[in-house]
Amino acid sequence: MEHFTCDFEGGAKAPQTTKPFVVVGVVASSNLEIMAQPCDLGGKVRFEVSTTVAHFEEAWRAVFADFIERNQPRDVLFSINDFAAIPPVVSLRLDQAWEGLV
Amino acid sequence: MPDKQTVRAEKLAAVAKVFGPGKVIPAERAVEFLELIIRSGDRILHEGDNQKQGDFLAEQLAKMDPKKIHGLKLALSCIGLPEHLDLFENGLAEVVDFAYAGPQGARLAEMVANGTVKIGAVHTYVELFARYFNELRPDVACLVSIEADAEGNLYTGSNTEETPALVEATAFGGGIVVVQANKLADKVRRTDIPGEWVDFVIESPKPFHLEPLFTKDPALLDETRILMAMMAMKAIYAKYLPKVLNHGVGFNTAAIELLLPTYGEELGLKGRACTHWALNPHPTMIPAIESGFVETIACIGGEVGMEAYVASKPDIFPLGHDGSLRSNRFYGQMAGHYADMFVGATLQIDPMGNSSTVTAARLAGFGGAPNFGAESRSRRHLSEAFIKAGAEAHAGESMPQGRKLVVQMVETFQGAGKPTFVEQLEAWDAMKSAGFALPPVMIYGDDVSHIVTEEGVANLLLCRTDAEREQAVRGVAGFTPVGLKRDHAMVANLRDRGIIQRAEDLGIRKSDVSRDRLAARSIHDLVRWSGGLYNPPSRFRNW
C-alpha cells in the first residue's frame, strides 16, 4: 500500500450540498472508492490517496489537475481507496463524486 | 509440368486404387488418404476461422510424413490451432498466407523470428478469398461441415461462414475438396454445398471446435465502457442516424447494443437509425431486437447457443427453408463494407489515427476489421448518414462525395501501463522482424472518421490539416504519453469548433453513467429477454 496527500489550488465553485459526504465507486479490482466531503480548506482541494499500486503519484497528480481544470471545485476533501484503477476510471469517479456535491 | 486436371485425375485414381470407389474415407485411414492427394509443394487450403476450426483434418495433416511430403504452402483464414504451426515444426510446410492468428499469434511471431515459418502475407479476409481465385489457387482444400452424405452434399448450417468461397475457388480451380463432417447422413438437412463440388468426405470422430467468439457477458461491462457508449451514441449515432451498421466483436460495441433499448430510445434512435446490420448473431443484440429496433441482420457467421432464438426470427435473420441460419463470410463482409457505419476497436493507435492489432510479440493479424472499417467509396445518394458525413469530409471540394463512418472506439489503456495510443505502431517492428515491405496496419488513419475514448469523441472528418488531425487524436488520448504531449491551445480550439467533444459538451452527466442503464446486466438477463430461447454455452452460465 502507498499513502499520500496532495493539495491543489481550487477554482470558483464551492460545494452546494447540505450532505456531509458523498461516496461513489467500490474497492474492487481495477476500481476505487471515493468519499467527497465539503470542508473549509481556504479555497484549496485536498486528495488523500490510499492505493495498492505504488510509484504512480505523478499520474495521480495529472488526473487531479485535469479534474480541477474541468470542474473548478474548491473546499472539498476527497478520500480515495484505490484498487489499481486506471486513470479514466479515476476521472469518472471524481466527476461522479463532485456532481453529488453540486 | 502436367496440367492441374491431369494431376487431379492421377490423385483421384490413386485414391480409388487404394480405397475403392466412392467419396467416403474412413477417419482412421485419413493420413494414408491425405498422402495420396497431397504432393510436395501443393497449396493446401485449410478451413478454420475465428469460430469454426477443421481440427480433425489439421491433426491428420500434421501427422503426414515429411520425408514424403514437404514444401507445402498453407493458406487459411485463421491460424487458430497448434497443429497449423506443427505443420511447419514437422517440416511439412514452408509458407503461410492468412488473415488472423489470434490464439497462435505469440507462437507465430516466435517461429517467424527463428525462420521456421515464412509468411506469404497477412491479408484482410476478402483480400485472401479474392487471391484464392487467382495466384493462390488451391491444390487441396480441407473443409468443415456439420453433415455430409455419400454423394458429398454438405449441410454447413449456421456457421457456413467461408465454406462457399473456399469450395468455389478449389472445385472450379482444378483442386480437390476434402471435408470433415460431424455426421454422415443418409440425406443432409439442407444442401448448402452441392455434392458435385466435393471429392471426399470423412466422418470426424468428434464434432469440430466452435468458438463462441461473439458472446460478451454484460456482467463485465464497467462504467467507463458505458460512458464511452453514451458519448458515441449521442455524438455519432444520434447525429448521423446511420441505418446500416457493422459492430466489431468487443465489449465497447456490446455496451452500445445493450444501451439501444434504454439510452437509444431516449435519443430517438428507434426506427430512425440502427435498423439494418451486418453482424453475427450477437447475444447482446437480443434486447434491441425484442424492443423493435432491428429489421434485418446479415450474418457473417453464427454464434453458439443462438440457434433457437435466431430460428424464431425469420424476418430478421437469413434462414434456410429448413429453418436454420445460413451465414456467409464473403457476402457478410461485403454487407458490412457497404454499411453506413463501422464501429470497432484495436490494440494500438498512432497520432495520425492509424491502428493495428499486430504487436512485436503477437502477429495477430486483423480478421474482418480492415474491410468493414474501410471507406467504401459507395455511390449511394439515399443514405442520410453517408451524405452528412461526406459533406463534412469533402467540404469545399469541387466534386461532392458521400462518406462512410468508420469509428474506432478504444479505452486509452489496454491494461495497467499499456497505453492504446502510441507514438509509433509496433507494426513497424513487426514489418522488420517478419520481412514485410509494409507495416501491417489494420485500419489506415484516413479511413477513420471518429475516435471515441473515455475522454471524448474526436471527429476527424472536420480536421483540415495533418496537424489538426494529430491534435484531435492526442486530445482524446487521455493520460497516455501521446495524450500528455498534446498542444493545449490547439486542443481547446478543436473543442470550441466541436471537433473534440467531451461528455460535458454533449450534456452527459457522469452520475448518469451507470450499469443500471444496460438493458441486460448478465447472461441470465439475455436468456430472459429471449423468452428462454437463447441457450448460452456452459462457461457463461453461473446460475
Chains A, B: CB contacts under 8 A, how many? 49
- Decide: B439 and B343 in contact? Cβ < 8 Å: no
CA-to-CA distance for B107 and B114, rounded, in angstroms?
Answer: 11
The answer to whether A102 faces chain B, any CB pair under 8 Å, is no
> Cα B278–B279–B280 angle (5° rounding)?
145
Of the candidates B328, B339, B320, the one whose C-alpha atom is nearest the C-alpha of residue B299 is: B328
pLDDT, tens only, A57-75 = 999 999 999 999 999 999 9
CA-to-CA distance for B483 and B351, rounded, in angstroms?
Answer: 9
Beta carbons of A30 and B223 less than 8 Å apart: no
pLDDT, tens only, B483-523 = 999 999 999 999 999 999 999 999 999 999 999 999 999 99
Residue of A nearest to B414 (CA): A86
pTM (two decimals): 0.94
Instruction: Write out B55-70 in H/E/C secondary structure.
Output: HHHHHHHHCCCCCCCC
Domains by residue range for chain B, with CATH: 4-210 (3.40.1080.10), 218-509 (3.40.1080.10)
Q: Which residues pair with B140 in a beta bridge?
A: B44, B176
- Decide: B183 and B147 in contact? Cβ < 8 Å: yes
pLDDT value at A95 more than 80:
yes
What pLDDT score does B395 carry?
94
Instruction: Write out B421-487 in H/E/C secondary structure.
Output: ECCCCCHHHHHHHHCCCCCCCCECHHHCCEEEECCEEEEHHHCCCHHHHHHHHHCCCCCCHHHHCCC
The grid coordinates listed for B364 are: 495477430
The answer to whether A89 faces chain B, any CB pair under 8 Å, is yes
pLDDT, tens only, B444-474 = 999 999 999 999 999 999 999 999 999 999 9
pLDDT, tens only, A17-62 = 889 999 999 998 889 999 999 999 999 999 999 999 998 899 999 9
Beta carbons of B454 and A31 less than 8 Å apart: no
Q: C-alpha distances in angstroms, B530 versus A66, B232, B234, B276, B287?
A: 44, 26, 27, 20, 8
Concatenated DSSP letters of B497-516? TTSEE-TGGGT--GGG--GG
- Decide: B411 and B228 in contact? Cβ < 8 Å: yes
pLDDT, tens only, B283-336 = 999 999 999 999 999 999 999 999 999 999 999 999 999 999 999 999 999 999
Q: Which residues pair with A79 in a beta bridge?
A: A35, A48
Residue A92: which of B223, B416, B502 has the nearest Cβ?
A: B223
**Grid-cell match 489499481, residue found:** A84
DSSP state of B418: E
Instruction: Return the top range by mean pLDDT from B37-41, B359-363, B375-379.
Output: B37-41
The radius of gyration of chain A's CA atoms, rounded to the nearest angstrom, is: 12
pLDDT, tens only, B140-191 = 999 999 999 999 999 999 999 999 999 999 999 999 999 999 999 999 999 9
What pLDDT score does A46 carry?
98
Beta carbons of A88 and B412 less than 8 Å apart: yes
- Decide: B405 and B450 in contact? Cβ < 8 Å: yes
Q: What are phi and psi of B365, to 5 degrees?
A: 75, -170
CA-to-CA distance for A75 and B82, rounded, in angstroms?
Answer: 60
Beta carbons of A92 and B412 less than 8 Å apart: no
Work out the end-to-end distance of chain A between its first and last CA atoms, rounded to an integer number of angstroms.
32
CA-to-CA distance for B302 and A37, rounded, in angstroms?
Answer: 52
What pLDDT score does B494 carry?
98
Of the candidates B131, B143, B122, the one whose C-alpha atom is nearest the C-alpha of residue B54 is: B143
The grid coordinates listed for B524 are: 441470465
CA-to-CA distance for A61 and A64, rounded, in angstroms?
Answer: 5
Beta carbons of B412 and A84 less than 8 Å apart: no
**Grid-cell match 515491405, residue found:** B437
DSSP H/E element including B386 = helix B384-393
What pLDDT score does B365 carry?
85
B308: distance to nearest CA of chain A, Å?
36
Of the candidates B422, B501, B480, B475, the one whose C-alpha atom is nearest the C-alpha of residue A86 is: B480
Pairing of strands B296-298, B154-155: unpaired
How many C-beta neighbours within 10 Å does residue B414 have? 16
Q: What are phi and psi of B485, to 5 degrees?
A: -90, 15
Of the candidates B272, B238, B273, B247, the one whose C-alpha atom is nearest the C-alpha of residue B506 is: B238
DSSP H/E element including B118 = strand B118-122
CA-to-CA distance for B223 and A34, rounded, in angstroms?
Answer: 15
The grid coordinates listed for B344 are: 470497432
Portion of chain B with pLDDT greater than 90, in percent? 92
CA-to-CA distance for B106 and B364, rounded, in angstroms?
Answer: 8
pLDDT value at B415 more than 90:
no
The answer to whether A54 faces chain B, any CB pair under 8 Å, is no
Candidates A91, A98, A101, A102, partner chain B, best to mutate (most B CBs within 10 A) = A91
DSSP H/E element including A3 = strand A2-9
Alpha helices for B318-368 (secondary structure H): 329-337
Chain B residues 456-515 with a CB less than 8 Å from chain A: 478-479, 484, 502-504, 509-511, 513
User: Strand ranges (DSSP E) for B123-199?
Assistant: 140-148, 154-155, 176-184
What pLDDT score does B456 carry?
98
How many C-beta neighbours within 10 Å does residue A57 have? 13
Domains by residue range for chain A, with CATH: 2-101 (3.30.230)
In one-letter notation, the amino acid at residue B286 is I
What pLDDT score does B72 carry?
98
What pLDDT score does B143 carry?
97
What pLDDT score does B359 carry?
81
Of the candidates B379, B337, B476, the one whose C-alpha atom is nearest the C-alpha of residue B390 is: B379
pLDDT, tens only, B33-84 = 999 999 999 999 999 888 899 999 999 999 999 999 999 999 999 999 999 9
Concatenated DSSP letters of B183-230? EE-SS-SS-SB-GGG--EEEE-SSPPEE--TT---GGG--HHHHHHHH
Of the candidates B397, B404, B407, the one whose C-alpha atom is nearest the C-alpha of residue B380 is: B404
Residue B454: which of A70, A92, A99 has the nearest Cβ?
A: A92
